[in-house]
């Protein structure tokens, strides 16, 4: 066990698209750690079909969102493919922060944390509870609501809403 203080963490995700729930976890993480890297996963096989938005689009929406919400100080955004623990080693991150909404999130994330520990025991797994006001938000719900013409302005930043509005124009 190391006495190293955790200063640099990665908040990983697909962010397809980024939601106010994701951004809440990122903002709270930034208050706890001096350096935060948002790892935008390529996730080519997520849910069997891959993400809706391209890696470049998701990365751009995140950049715009953290500036819009003024949580960009000390936050870097880095797209990646491959193993999360490889990204952590490459950038020198001491920990991984995962946001939790419900018990089902915990069960899944605990399995991932166990695997990550086996791959990189020097990288700590940290769980941050999402705000209750954003606990029900998921990217898939946001996409589905947007595709059906519903108002998603209470679920995502304005820059993401504008991007989602274009889904119905196509």
For 128-167, the pLDDT digits (tens) are: 988 888 878 889 999 999 999 999 999 999 999 999 988 7
pLDDT band at 58 (very low <50, low <70, confident <90, very high): very high
For this structure, is 139 an active site residue? yes
Task: CATH number of the domain at 120, please.
Answer: 3.40.50.620
Q: Which of 8, 28, 43, 46 is catalytic?
A: 46
The torsion region of residue 114 among left (phi > 0), alpha (psi -120 to 50) and beta comes to alpha
| Cα–Cα distance measured from residue 143 to residue 16, given in angstroms and rounded to the nearest whole number | 8
- Cα angle at 103 between 100 and 104, to 5 degrees? 90
Residue 123 lies in a domain: yes
Q: Which of 30, 101, 134, 163 is catalytic?
A: 101
Residues whose CB falls within 8 Å of the CB of residue 138, separated by 6 or more in sequence, listed in order: 19, 21, 101
Cα Rg of the chain, angstroms: 16
Residue 155 lies in a domain: yes
| Cα–Cα distance measured from residue 116 to residue 147, given in angstroms and rounded to the nearest whole number | 35
State CA 36 to chain mean position distance.
11
Whether residue 17 has a cis bond before it, omega within 30° of 0: yes
For this structure, is 54 an active site residue? no
pTM for this model (two decimals): 0.91
Residue 3 lies in a domain: no
Residue 68 lies in a domain: yes
pLDDT band at 46 (very low <50, low <70, confident <90, very high): low
Q: Which of 58, 139, 143, 163 is catalytic?
A: 139
List the domain range (segments joined by +) for residue 17: 8-169
Residue with the two structure tokens 């791959």: 119
Residue 146 lies in a domain: yes
Residue 26 lies in a domain: yes
Among candidate residues 29, 30, 33, the one with its CA nearest the CA of residue 6: 33
Residue with the two structure tokens 């915990």: 106
Q: Which of 22, 58, 98, 134 is catalytic?
A: 22
For this structure, is 101 an active site residue? yes
Residue 2 lies in a domain: no
Q: H helices of the chain, where?
A: 20-32, 55-68, 84-91, 103-119, 139-147, 158-169
Residue 1 lies in a domain: no
pLDDT band at 48 (very low <50, low <70, confident <90, very high): low
Please give the tally of structural domains in the chain.
1
């Amino acid at each position: 066990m190391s006495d190293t203080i955790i200063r640099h963490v990665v908040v990983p995700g697909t962010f397809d698209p980024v939601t106010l729930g994701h951004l809440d976890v990122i903002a709270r993480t930034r208050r706890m750690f001096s350096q935060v890297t948002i790892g935008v996963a390529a996730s080519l096989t997520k849910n069997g079909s891959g993400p809706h938005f391209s890696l470049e689009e998701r990365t751009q929406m995140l950049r715009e969102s953290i500036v819009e919400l003024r949580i960009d100080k000390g936050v870097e955004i880095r797209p990646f493919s491959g193993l999360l623990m490889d990204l952590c080693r490459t950038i020198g991150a001491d920990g991984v922060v995962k946001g939790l909404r419900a018990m089902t999130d915990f069960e899944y994330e605990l399995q991932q944390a166990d695997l990550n520990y086996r791959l990189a025991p020097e990288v700590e797994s940290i769980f941050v509870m999402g705000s209750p006001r954003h606990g029900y938000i998921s990217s898939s719900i946001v996409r589905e609501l947007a595709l059906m013409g519903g108002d998603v302005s209470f679920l995502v930043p304005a820059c993401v809403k504008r991007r989602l509005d274009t889904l119905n124009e196509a």
